[in-house]
């Protein structure tokens, strides 16, 4: 299926043309020929109610998807923060041990000198 992309100018031109045809229709058609029945209105209302409920359902599902994404990211962040704390503690222990070994090596080298 080929998707045709039209420019903004073309979209505006088409929209203006539709509006012009619509106005022309209402101006040239006698009022007694323009009949909107209760059934027509009910059909329009049903159509737009369906459309609106579809939009609301899409929004609800998008909200749920975003909440799930947020929860997953928060869990991942919590996990990473815990790992960061663990690594910080390990690094502090390594630095402490390194200082001990440096002092030990300095003392050992002074004994040999």
Residue 113, pLDDT score: 56
SS3 1: coil
- pLDDT tens string 47-56: 999 999 999 9
pTM comes to 0.46
Rounded distance between C-alpha atoms, residue 63 and residue 69, angstroms: 10
- pLDDT tens string 22-50: 888 777 877 777 677 788 889 889 999 99
In angstroms, how far is CA 108 from the centroid of its own chain?
62
Rounded distance between C-alpha atoms, residue 57 and residue 61, angstroms: 6
- pLDDT tens string 60-100: 999 999 999 999 999 999 999 999 999 999 999 999 988 88
- Report yes or no: 62 and 54 within 8 Å, Cβ to Cβ: no
Q: What is the DSSP letter of 40?
A: H
């Amino acid at each position: 299926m080929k998707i045709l992309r039209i420019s903004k100018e073309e979209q505006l031109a088409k929209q203006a043309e539709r509006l012009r045809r619509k106005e022309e229709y209402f101006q040239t058609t006698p009022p007694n020929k323009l009949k909107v029945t209760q059934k027509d209105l009910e059909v329009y209302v049903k159509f737009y109610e369906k459309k609106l409920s579809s939009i609301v359902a899409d929004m609800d599902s998008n909200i749920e998807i975003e909440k799930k994404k947020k929860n997953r990211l928060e869990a991942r962040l919590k996990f990473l923060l815990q790992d960061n704390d663990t690594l910080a503690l390990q690094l502090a222990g390594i630095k402490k041990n390194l200082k001990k070994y440096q002092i030990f090596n300095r003392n050992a080298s002074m004994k040999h000198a």
